Amino acid sequence: MRKEVIAIFDIGKTNKKFLLFDAELNVVYKEEKRFEEIEDEDGFPCEDIQNIEIWIHKCITNTHESGHYRIMGMNFTTYGATLMYIDKQGERITPVYNYLKPFPEGVIDGFYDKYGGIEEFTRRTASPAMGMLNSGLQTLWLKRTRPKIFVKVKSILHLPQYFSYLLTRQETSEYTSIGCHTGLWDFNNHTYHQWVYDEALPFPDPVSNYKVFNVKIDGRIIKVGIGIHDSSASLVPYLKATKSQFILISTGTWCILMNPFNKEPLTTEQLRKDTLCYMSTKQQQVKSSRLFLGYIHDINVKRISNYFNVDADYYKTVKTDNNKIISLFDDKGGRIFFKNKMPEDFVDREADLSLFSSFDTAYHKFMFDLVEVLMESLKLIIPEHDETDKVYITGGFTRNEIFMKLLARKLPDKEVYLAEIEDTTALGAAMVIYTIIFGSSNIPANTGFSEI
């Protein structure tokens, strides 16, 4: 007998995953694949969208032909700041332009002034000015630099909705992708910003993330969701697992700090410090900040390793020294690392390493100061009247005991947990459509936490 499952495509910038979740939301099958990037017409790297599309169809067909599973529902979650342009024939007409692509000077001259200036525009749209990372501004770039292409555009879709469109042929938009530093959404008026209408940009009206379409695939009707932005998807399991107010810190190369319970509007100062708002599946703002944590760690540890003539991975063997941690909290001497403004290349060459007797001692102090920098990002998303009592930590830094212990001690008024949830983003995408697929409002939490 075939096991009934929800199929999820989790399309990351580097890894693409296909997962099957059973009715208890356990992963019963997982496939991971990487695709070599190709180049757009300017020679800049971009997704090999054609081969990704072929892979998606192949995953569905192979699942059906295996005889082990019956796909009842399907959803997509992808990274943000990425658009697809659809013509009148329903075909994509551009490459998947990379959000890392340089944004040419002059493209938006006068744009911000027309809408109250850059500070007012970024505040109202909860989107720091980040060039191509503001996906809305990508449309202006295309319209003004490639007008012969843009005139053919009938509809503009964010990446999660494009993959859903491949199967449903329904052009949709939804709040989590629009509300992700796009410059498209007016958080004051809860609608597209006026400039979207002024430029006559063909974005569909947004619908709920809980919307599904019945699609006939391989002779069977499958309920296909409209997709969800990955950061918002990753919040869903935590919102389901706890009734307490919490902060989620997702660590890795980038560290994303999210507070779904901070209702205060963004300030100009917060925007200047790279704070923004995502949007939840319930169309509520999620105040967020970010830090290039993993990169800052790795590039500075390389400098420390070279100074003490140890292997680049030696830090992984350093044991947590509780006495060192206690003395660091007792020390009133201030920072040694990152005493001044973060360097543009993130390498603190001013930190005097001769002050340390060993790599281990230097590393403990480095991690202490790095956690101090992280605390500055955390304070940006904590409201004046803070009612959060839990902090969940996910990602690569959960394996760094020194980091976890330092952070827990920095937050004495909160319970700090290592979150033991596998494939959080894909799980969130499955949870969104679970009730529609299995007809039960009792969604399994499928979560585990260890207090630090």
Residues 306, 366 within the same domain: yes
At which of 204, 226, 248 does a domain end? 226
- In this structure, of 37-41, 327-331, 368-372, the range with the lowest mean pLDDT score is 327-331
Residues 241, 127 within the same domain: no
Residue 75 confidence (pLDDT) above 90: yes
Residues 166, 257 within the same domain: no
Residues 199, 339 within the same domain: no
CB distance 156 to 142 below 8 Å? no
Residues 164, 215 within the same domain: yes
Q: What is the mean pLDDT of residues 197-213?
A: 96
- Predicted confidence (pLDDT) per residue in 6-31, tens digit: 999 999 988 899 999 999 999 999 99
Indicate the number of domains in the chain.
Answer: 2
Predicted pLDDT at 451: 65
Q: Look at residue 352 and give its three-state secondary structure.
A: coil
Residues 163, 290 within the same domain: no
Q: What is the mean pLDDT of residues 135-146?
A: 95
Residues 78, 112 within the same domain: yes
Q: What is the mean pLDDT of residues 195-202?
A: 96
Residues 252, 362 within the same domain: yes
What is the H or E stretch that residue 376 is in?
helix 359-379
Residues 257, 201 within the same domain: no
- In this structure, of 80-84, 140-144, 329-333, the range with the lowest mean pLDDT score is 329-333
Beta bridge partners of 77: 10, 228
- Predicted confidence (pLDDT) per residue in 422-435, tens digit: 788 999 999 999 99
What's the token pair of residue 449? 């936490």
Query: Which CATH number characterizes residue 355's domain?
Result: 3.30.420.40
Residue 96 confidence (pLDDT) above 70: yes
Q: Are strands 390-395 and 415-419 parallel, antiparallel or unpaired?
A: parallel
Predicted pLDDT at 241: 82
At which of 165, 200, 226 does a domain end? 226
At which of 192, 207, 226 does a domain end? 226
Side chain identity at 114, as an amino acid letter? Answer: K
- Predicted confidence (pLDDT) per residue in 209-229, tens digit: 999 999 998 888 999 999 999
Predicted pLDDT at 296: 95
CA distances 128 to 86, 101, 266, 448, Å, are 27, 17, 10, 34
Residues 129, 155 within the same domain: yes
Give the domain extent around 349.
Answer: 229-452
Residues 188, 256 within the same domain: no
Q: What is the DSSP string of 79-140?
A: -SS-EEEE-TTS-B-S----TTS---TTTTTTHHHHTT-HHHHHHHHT----GGGSHHHHHH
Residues 393, 258 within the same domain: yes
Q: Which single residue is written with the structure tokens 């599946």?
A: 281
Phi-psi region of 337 (alpha: psi -120 to 50; beta: other; left: phi over 0): beta
What's the token pair of residue 338? 């990152």
- In this structure, of 1-15, 116-130, 272-286, the range with the lowest mean pLDDT score is 272-286
